[in-house]
Amino acid sequence: MKVKFKIWRQKGPKDAGGFRTYDVEVAEEMSFLEAIDVLNEQLIRNHDKHPEGPIAFDHDCREGICGMCSMVIDGVPHGPRGGTTTCQLHMREFARRGFRDGDTITVEPFRAKAFPVLRDLIVDRSSFDRIQQAGGYVSVGTGSAPDANAIPIGKAEADLAFDYAACIGCGACVAACPNASAMLFVGAKVSHLALLPQGQVERSQRAVRMLGTMDAEGFGGCTNHGECEAACPKEISTDAIVSLNRELMRAAIRAR
């Protein structure tokens, strides 16, 4: 299939960026990142015509685990297929949606004040690390892995905690939100620890510290658009935000 990629190019954080359009031929069996790889090989071979060089983008595991493959594809973080990271999106998905040879796919980086563009499609998401460091941890010395039944935790609580812990911190929720809010990310990190015995030591201050850091990093607030849940590759529910608000109220009551 013949594709036109309209891709955001930006040399550095302080440089003005813009879209460039490239023609490339790819196979339907390729993943989206493999298609970008093919384009990059083409740009390297034809350096005289494309002095801007290959497209810079983040990737690591290419197995849908790490969340580094952050791209907004045709206006949707990680692309048109729900519950999928960019690396697990395949070109055949576009064919299924009526894509024809010569159609254009627009690719740009995640857009948020707290995610400054470093180069092309790479953004700096270290703000998520600082939010995590503010309270997304436990101070209990756990030692080696305990037996599965050593700590009594109800199955419903364990399953819900696991659902929230599935968050990979990719930032798709931020990129999808009109307010660039990180509430779904923070909610998932706060909620899964609040459900477990190991997370009780810091529980009274975790939500306060992490939300305070979120605000300081320049993320917006939640106004219930629900775009975060729709874009999340792990399909984490906005119930995490409800749980986060409960934890915040709990902390305020305990502080009194």
If asked whether residues 133 and 108 sit together in one domain, one would say no
Q: How much is the pLDDT for 101?
A: 87
Those residues whose C-beta lies under 8 Å from the C-beta of residue 101, and which sit 6 or more positions away, are 1, 2, 3
| Same domain, residue pair 6 and 113 | yes
Range of the domain at 217: 125-139+151-255
Chain segment 142-159, per-residue pLDDT in tens: 677 777 677 788 889 999
Tell which residue, 225, 239, 244, has the closest CA to residue 178: 225
Q: For residue 142, what pLDDT is reported?
A: 62
Residue 181: CB atoms within 10 Å: 23
Question: 112 and 159 share a domain?
Answer: no
- Render pLDDT for 110-148 as a digit per residue (tens, 0 to 9): 999 999 999 999 999 999 999 999 999 988 776 777 776
Q: How far apart are CA 170 and CA 67, in angstroms?
A: 4
pLDDT (tens digit, 9 = 90+) per residue, 163-215? 999 999 999 999 999 999 999 999 999 999 999 988 999 998 999 999 999 99
What's the full length of the chain, in residues? 256
Average pLDDT, the chain: 94
Q: Are residues 207 and 101 in the same domain?
A: no
Q: What is the CATH number of the domain that holds 46?
A: 3.10.20.30
Same domain, 79 and 171: no
- Tokens, residue 106: 């627009």
Q: Is 94 a residue whose pLDDT tops 80? A: yes
Of 137-141, 173-177, 224-228, 230-234, the range with the lowest mean pLDDT is 137-141
Number of domains making up the chain:
2
Query: What tokens does 39 get?
Result: 């384009």
Percent of the chain with pLDDT over 90: 86
The predicted model gives 102-109 an average pLDDT of 96
Q: Are residues 184 and 227 in the same domain?
A: yes
pLDDT value at 32 more than 70? yes
DSSP string, the chain: -EEEEEEEE-SSTTS--EEEEEEEE--TTSBHHHHHHHHHHHHHHTTTT-TT-SPP---S-SSSSS-----EETTEET-SSTT--GGG-BTHHHHHTT--TT-EEEEE----TTS-EEETTEE--HHHHHHHHHH--------SPPPTTSS---HHHHHHHHHHHT-----HHHHHSTT-B-HHHHHHHHHHHHTSGGGSSSHHHHHHHHHHHHHHTT-B---S--HHHHH-TT---THHHHHHHHHHHHHHHHH-
145 domain residue, yes or no? no
Residue 141's φ and ψ, nearest 5 degrees, are -75, 105
In a domain, 48, yes or no: yes
* Domain presence at residue 18: yes
Domain contains 211: yes
Instruction: Tell me, yes or no, whether 182 and 113 share the same domain.
Output: no
The answer to whether the Cα torsion of 65, 26, 75, 13 is positive or negative is: positive
Q: Is the pLDDT of residue 50 over 80?
A: yes
Shared domain for 7 and 110, answered yes or no, is yes
CATH of the domain at 157: 1.10.1060.10
Residue 144 resides in a domain: no
Question: What does the pLDDT average to over 12-21?
Answer: 95
Nearest to 132 by CA among 165, 177, 175, 162: 165
pLDDT(14) > 70: yes
Q: Same structural domain for residues 113 and 129? A: no
Question: Is residue 197 domain-shared with residue 222, that is, in the same domain?
Answer: yes
- Separation of alpha carbons 248 and 206, rounded Å: 9
CA distance 223 to 201: 30
Same domain, 40 and 103: yes
DSSP per-residue string spanning 148-201: TTSS---HHHHHHHHHHHT-----HHHHHSTT-B-HHHHHHHHHHHHTSGGGSS
85 part of a folded domain: yes
How far apart are alpha carbons 231 and 176 in whole angstroms?
A: 6
Domain assignment of residue 146, yes or no? no
Q: Are 71 and 178 within one domain?
A: no
The whole-number pLDDT of residue 152 equals 80
**pLDDT average, residue stretch 56-67:** 94
State the average pLDDT over residues 213-228. 96
pLDDT at 177: 97
Q: Is the pLDDT of residue 59 over 90?
A: yes
Asked, for residue 87, whether it belongs to a domain, the answer is yes
